[in-house]
Chain A
Amino acid sequence: MARDLAAVADLIRDYISPEGASRYYQNTGITESDFSPILPQKFEGSIFAIDGSNATIFDLAAAKVNYIRTGYVVYRGTSWQRTEIANEIFVADQESYAQTFERNLKDIFGIEETFTLEETELDRLSTYFRELQEYAALFEALDRAQEGDLVLYDGGFAFWKEGPFKAVLDQIFERAENVGADLLGISKSSTFSWNAGLSRPFVQDTARIGSQVIPDRPWMIDLKDKNISPRPESSWKGKIRVVKFHPHAGRAFRVDVPPLIDADRALSHAATRSSSAECLGYPHALFRAHREIRITDQESWLLRRALLDELGSRGVSEEQVRGFLDYHDFMEMRPGRML
C-alpha cells in the first residue's frame, strides 16, 4: 500500500510541480507579449455579484428534494450595500422535470422551448435548476444595474452552444448591452489544461508564469487561438481570458467576457475591487456573495427537520421516510445528515 501511495504521489507531483516556462510557451503558443498589464481606471459605479448554492435535503432515489439558494450582493466602492436572496425547494423528478424548467424559462425569460436533457445528464438536474435560478438572479441584477456598473457572475458563459440555456444567456447579454453594464463570468475552477506529456493545469501554470512576466501589476491574457484543451468553443462570440486581479495574489482566474462588453474597462474595474484583505486577488463582491448565499450544513439540516415535522403532522413517520431513502443516505447516518 505504501509503495502504491508513493507512486501516486509521484504522479501528482508531476501534475503540480512547476513546469519550465519555455515548454509552456512552446506548447501553448503563448508568448510573453500576450500577457498585458491591467491598467487602472477610475470607477465609481456599483458592483453586483451573483452566486448560488444547493443542498440535497432528501434523496428518495426516484426523486431528490433540493434546497436551492441564489442571489446577489451589491457593493458601492468597497462598501457593501445589500444582499438579495431567494430560497427555493426543487424536487428533481426525472419524469416531470421538463415542465418545471419550461415554466421557469417562460415566466422569467419569456422563452418557449421544450426542455429535455440527455439520459446522462439527468443526475445533474438540480445543478441545472440552480444554474437557471442563478441566471434569473443575474437577469434581475442587470435590471437593477445602471450604465457603467459592473456585474459579476460566478461561473462561465462559454459552455452553451445551443438549446434553452443558450437562449437565456442571449437574453442576459442583450439586457447587459441595453443597460450598458459590464458583465463578466468569473470561474473559481477551470478544467483547461495544456499538453506537457501529461495534461497540466493551465490556469495555475499561467498564473505562475504570467507573474514572472508582470510581477507588480494585475494582468490578463486572451486565450484566443491558444493551444489548450478543451479548445474554447469557436461558437462563443465573446472572449475568454485568464486574469490575475492582484499582483500579490497566488491565483489567477478564468474570465468569460460576453460579446460587446468592453473587456479592458470591465477587468480594470474588477481588479480595482479585488484588493481586499479578506480575499486578496478575487473580486471581493463575489467573495461576499459566496459567503452569504452558501447553504450551510446546519441550514439544510434544519430544513430537513422542519420537513420531517410537517410530514409527521400528516401522519408520515420518520421510519417510513427512512424506508424510502437512498440506502447511501441511510448508511451514512452522519449527525445532522441522518434522520
Chain B
Amino acid sequence: MDKEEKTRTLLLDRWTIDGSRSTTYRIISKNVSEYNFIIPYKERVEVGEIFSVEDTSVEDEKITFLARVTDIRHDSNYEGNWDTTLRGTEFYDQDQIFNRVVAEPLGCIIEDRFKKSRIIPSKFSPVKRAEAGEFRFLSEVMGDIEVGLLRNGSRLVEEIPVALHSEAMDHHMGVFATTGMGKSNFMKVFAASCMKMAAQGRSKFGLLIVDPHGEYIKGKKGTKGLFDLDRYRKGLTCYSTDPGHLKDPEVSELTVAITEIRPADIAVLYDWTPAQREALEAVSRIFYEDTWLDDIQTPEGTAQMISDGFHEKTIGRINRTIRTIMDKNRYIHQKRSSVPGIISRLLKGDVVLVDVPQLSERSELFLLSLLSRQILDRYKREASEGGGKSCLITIEEAQRVLSGGEGSLARFESIAREGRKFGVGLCAVTQQPKLIDKQLLSQFNTFVILGLADRNDRTRLEESAKQDLSSLDVEIQTLEKGEAIISTLNIPFPVPARIHLYETYLEELNGEGRSNEEPRRGAKFNIPPD
C-alpha cells in the first residue's frame, strides 16, 4: 500500500460494548455538595445508606469519598415523555433505564484519615456500598460511652460501635423521639455505659436521673432496669421514695431536709397569685435562708412579713399551702437529707438514680429544681477550686421546663446557658422538641434523634443543630424503633446508629469479664469474601 493512500482512510478504533462495560455504579455528576450516580433500576437502595467512591485517577493518591444517599430518582437514556406514552407490549432494553442516586458527601479518607472534602471525585469513579473497612476511621473518632452500632441504611455495621464522648456531656444532650420510639431504652443503655465506666473508675462525669415513672430502676412492662446490671452495679447509687424498692438494701430512702428548701423551689409547687409570689420573693430578704420555712410560720415571722407591707391573708395562705406541701411530700424531712450524698456521688462520677414513682408532676419538678440548684452551687464552688468531674442532669419531658415561655424554669434555662462553665450539663429528653426554646436548644451540642413523625419537631432540630441535618429529613421521618441519627461534637458528621436494645446490651455487659477474653461483637461477624 502506498503511503499516500493510507492517509485517506484511517481506522480509529474498534470496540465491543457489552454488559461488562457497564456505566452503572459510577459517579456521573455533579458538584462538591452533591454526587449523582446510577444503579440498575432493579437494584434496591435506601435513603441514608452510605456509599464509597474510590478515586484512583491521580497516581499514588487514592482517595475514598463517602456519601450518604439523600434521594433516589428514576432516570433513563431516553428523552422526553417516552415513559408516559408507552404503547408497546414489552420493554426490551432494561440496561437503558436506571435509578439515579443522589448522595450527599460526608467527607473523604486519605491515608486512613478522614477529612471534609473540598474536591469532587473524578467523573466515572466507581461507586459501591461502603464496607466496614471504610468506616474504620470512625472507630477512632468515637467516644467512650457506647450506645449502639453504626448503621448503614437499615443494615448494621457490627464492627463499628457508636459511642458518645464524655467530654461533650456538659455541652448538653437532647434525646428526641416520638412516643414509643425508644427514648427510655436509650437512656437505660446510656446509663448502663456510664455505670460501666464508673464501676471501672474511668467515669468522667456523674449522671443524675430523676425518674418519675419508676421505670429505670427495675424496668417496667417486661423490660429490665439499671438494677439488673449486676456486673457494674457499683457504678449506680439509688434513692427512692417507693416502699417496694426500698426493701432492697442497696436502695436508700430519698430525703430532702427542710433547711435545703428555698422560696424559689417552693415557687414551682403551686400556682401562686402575684401577691403571694411577691411575698415569697421577699422571704429571702427577711429570713435566714436555712430557717425561713419554720420562721415564716411563727407568729413573729408573720408579723415581720406584715410589717414589710404584705397582707396578713397572703401570709396565712402561704403558710397553709406550705403545710399542705410538707404533708404531701413525705420525703421532706426535718433534718435528714440525701442531697449531699447525691452530689458527692455525682462528683465521684457515679450514676445516681432518683426513683420517685407516683410523685405528682409539681413535686417532681420541685425536686429536680432543688437538686439542680444545689448541684450548680456545689459545682460552682468546685470549679473555682479547680473542678472535679462534670455532671449531667436528666430532665424527662424537658419541654415542660425549657419552653422559654410560661411555666419554663429559669433555673434550667440558666443551666442550659451557662452550666457548661461549671461542668454541669443537661440531658433533655422530649417527644416534642418543637416546644423547646430555639435559643436554648442551640446550646445543645449532642442530639440523639430517634424517629420523629412531626415535621415541626424535625424543623426545630434542623434549625438548632450544630451539624447540617436538613438533608436527613426523610431519614429521620422514617427511622424505625431504636434507629437514630446522632449529631455530636468530635464526630465529623451526623452518624446513623442503631441503639442497643437495653435487654440485649445488659446481657452482654453482665457477661463481660466472665471469660478472660472480652467478647467482641465484631469477632462473630465475618466479612464475606469479595
Pick the residue among B10, B17, B78, B90 that contacts A88 (CB under 8 A): B10
Pick the residue among B11, B18, B78, B87 that contacts A248 (CB under 8 A): B87
CA distance A89 to B9 in the complex (A): 6
Closest B residue to A273 using CB positions: B92
Evaluate contact between A88 and B88: CB separation under 8 angstroms.
no
Q: Does A219 contact B (CB under 8 A)?
A: no
Q: 7 more A-B contacts (CB under 8 A) besides A85-B17, A276-B90, A284-B92?
A: A80-B93, A83-B17, A88-B9, A90-B9, A96-B8, A99-B5, A276-B92
A319 interface residue, CB < 8 Å from B? no
Flag if A83 contacts B16 (CB, 8 Å). Answer: yes
> Is A81 positioned at the interface, with any CB of B under 8 Å from its CB?
yes
**Residue B95, interface by CB 8 Å:** yes
Among A80, A87, A280, which residue has its beta carbon within 8 angstroms of that of B95?
A80
Contact residues of B between 247 and 277, Cβ < 8 Å to A:
none
A288 engages B12 (CB within 8 Å):
no
Taking a contact as CB atoms under 8 Å apart, the answer to whether A91 and B8 are in contact is: yes
Q: Does A277 contact B (CB under 8 A)?
A: yes
Establish whether residues B1 and A103, one from each chain, have CB atoms under 8 Å apart when the complex forms.
yes
CA separation between A75 and B19, bound complex, in Å?
Answer: 12
A96 nearest CB neighbor, chain B only: B8
Q: How many B residues are at the interface, by size bracket?
A: 20 to 34
A100 touches B5 (CB 8 A): yes
- List the A side residues contacting B86 at CB < 8 Å: 277
Chain B positions 86-129 with a Cβ under 8 Å from a chain A Cβ: 86-96
**Which chain B positions have C-beta within 8 A of A88?**
9-12
| CB-contact partner of B93 in A90, A280, A288, under 8 A | A288
Asked whether any CB of chain A lies closer than 8 Å to the CB of B525, the reply is: no
B88 touching A278, Cβ below 8 Å: yes
A292 touches B (CB below 8 Å): yes
Given contacts A99-B5, A276-B92, A288-B93, contact A84 B16 (CB under 8 A): yes
Q: Which residues of B contact A129 (CB under 8 A)?
A: 9
| 11 A–B pairs (Cβ distance < 8 Å), ordered by A | A84-B15, A88-B10, A97-B8, A100-B5, A100-B8, A275-B88, A277-B88, A279-B88, A280-B87, A284-B92, A291-B77
- Whether A91 lies near B91 (C-beta < 8 A) is no
User: Which residues does chain A contribute within 8 Å of B1, judged by CB atoms?
Assistant: 103
Say if the beta carbon of B73 comes within 8 Å of chain A: no
If A96-B5, A99-B8, A100-B8 touch, whether A87 touches B13 (CB-CB below 8 Å) is yes
Max chain B Cβ within 10 angstroms of own Cβ: one of A90, A248, A275 = A275
In Å, the complex CA distance between A85 and B82 comes to 26
In angstroms, Cα B88 to Cα A246, docked, is 9
Kindly supply a per-residue 1/0 record for chain A positions 29-43, scoring 1 wherever the CB is within 8 Å of any chain B CB and 0 otherwise: 000000000000000
With A84-B16, A85-B15, A87-B11 as given contacts, are A78 and B92 in contact (CB-CB < 8 Å)? yes
User: Nearest-CB distance from A109 to chain B (Å)?
Assistant: 16
How far apart are A105's CB and chain B's nearest CB, in angstroms? Answer: 12
B7 at the interface (CB under 8 A from A): yes
Nearest chain A CB to B3 CB, angstrom units? 12
Residues of B within 8 A of A248 (CB): 87
Partner of A81, one of B9, B18, B77, B87: B18
Chain A residues lying within 8 Å of B90, measured Cβ to Cβ, are 78, 275-277
Report Cα–Cα, A58/B89, bound state, in Å. 44
CA distance A136 to B16 in the complex (A): 16
Chain A residues whose C-beta falls within 8 Å of the C-beta of B4 in the assembled complex: 96
Q: Are B16 and A82 closer than 8 Å at their CB atoms?
A: yes
> Taking the complex as formed, is B335 at the interface, i.e. its CB lies under 8 A from any CB of chain A?
no
Residues of B within 8 A of A246 (CB): 88
Q: A88-B11, A292-B17 are in contact. Are A278 and B5 (CB under 8 A)?
A: no
Neighbouring B residues of A213 by C-beta, 8 Å: none
B residues whose Cβ falls under 8 Å from a Cβ of A: 1, 4-5, 7-19, 77-78, 82, 86-96
Please measure, in the bound complex, the distance between the C-alpha atom of A87 and the C-alpha atom of B13, giving whole angstroms: 5
Partner of A103, one of B5, B10, B82: B5
Counting contact residues on chain A (CB < 8 A from B), the size range is 35 or more
Tell me which residues across on chain A come within 8 A of B91, comparing CB atoms: 276-278
A87–B12 CB distance below 8 A: yes
Q: Which 9 A-B pairs have the closest CB atoms?
A: A277-B88, A82-B18, A87-B12, A276-B92, A280-B88, A277-B86, A83-B17, A89-B10, A78-B92
- Nearest Cβ on chain B to A219's Cβ, whole angstroms: 17
**CA–CA, A183 to B168, complex, Å?**
76
CA distance A75 to B18 in the complex (A): 11
| In the bound complex, CA of A87 to CA of B93 (Å) | 24
Of the listed residues B1, B9, B78, the one surrounded by the most CB atoms of chain A closer than 10 A to its CB is B9
- Nearest B residue (CB) for A99: B5
Which residues 225-268 in A have Cβ within 8 Å of B in the complex? 246, 248
Among A260-308, those with CB < 8 Å from B are 275-280, 284, 288, 291-292
Among residues of B, the one whose C-beta sits closest to the C-beta of A303 is: B12
Are the C-beta atoms of B11 and A86 separated by less than 8 Å?
Answer: yes
Tell me, in angstroms, the Cα distance from A5 to B69 when the chains sit together.
Answer: 55
Question: In the complex, what residues of B have CB within 8 A of residue A291's CB?
Answer: 77
Chain A residues positioned under 8 Å from B77 (CB to CB): 291
Asked whether A87 lies within 8 Å of B16 as measured between CB atoms, the reply is no
Interchain CA distance A91-B5 in the complex, whole Å = 10
A154 CB to closest chain B CB, in angstroms? 17
Residues of B close to A91: CB separation below 8 A: 7-9
Task: Please measure, in the bound complex, the distance between the C-alpha atom of A276 and the C-alpha atom of B88, giving whole angstroms.
Answer: 5
Is A326 an interface residue, CB under 8 A from the partner?
no
Residues of B close to A177: CB separation below 8 A: none
Question: Does A329 sit within 8 A of B, measured CB to CB?
Answer: no
Which residues of chain B have C-beta atoms less than 8 A from A277's C-beta? 86-92
- Using Cβ atoms and an 8 Å threshold, which residues of chain B touch A280? 87-88
Contacts of A96 in B (CB 8 A): 4-5, 8
Residues of B within 8 A of A82 (CB): 16-19
Is A313 in contact with chain B by the CB < 8 A criterion? no
Contact across chains for A275 and B5 when beta carbons are under 8 A apart: no
Q: Which residues of chain A have C-beta atoms less than 8 A from B18's C-beta?
A: 81-83
A86 in contact with B14 given A96-B8, A278-B93 (CB within 8 Å) = yes
Q: Decide if B88 touches A84 in the complex (CB within 8 Å).
A: no
User: A278 and B92: CB pair below 8 A?
Assistant: yes
| Chain B residues whose CB sits within 8 angstroms of the CB of A78 once the complex forms | 90, 92
Q: Which residues of A contact B13 (CB under 8 A)?
A: 86-87
Q: Is A79 an interface residue (CB 8 A)?
A: yes
Nearest chain A residue, comparing its CB with the CB of B1: A103
Q: Which chain B residues border A87 with CB–CB below 8 Å?
A: 11-14
Query: Which residue of B has the minimal Cβ distance to A85?
Result: B15
- A222 an interface residue at 8 Å Cβ cutoff? no
**Measured between C-beta atoms, what is the minimum distance from A195 to chain B in Å?**
33
CB-CB < 8 A to A90: which residues of B? Answer: 8-9
Residues of B within 8 A of A284 (CB): 92-93
Q: Is the CB of B8 within 8 A of A93?
A: yes
Q: How far is the CA of A73 from the CA of B10 in the complex (A)?
A: 23
Q: Which chain B residue shows the least CB distance to A87?
A: B12
CB under 8 Å from chain B, chain A span 34-87? 75, 78-87
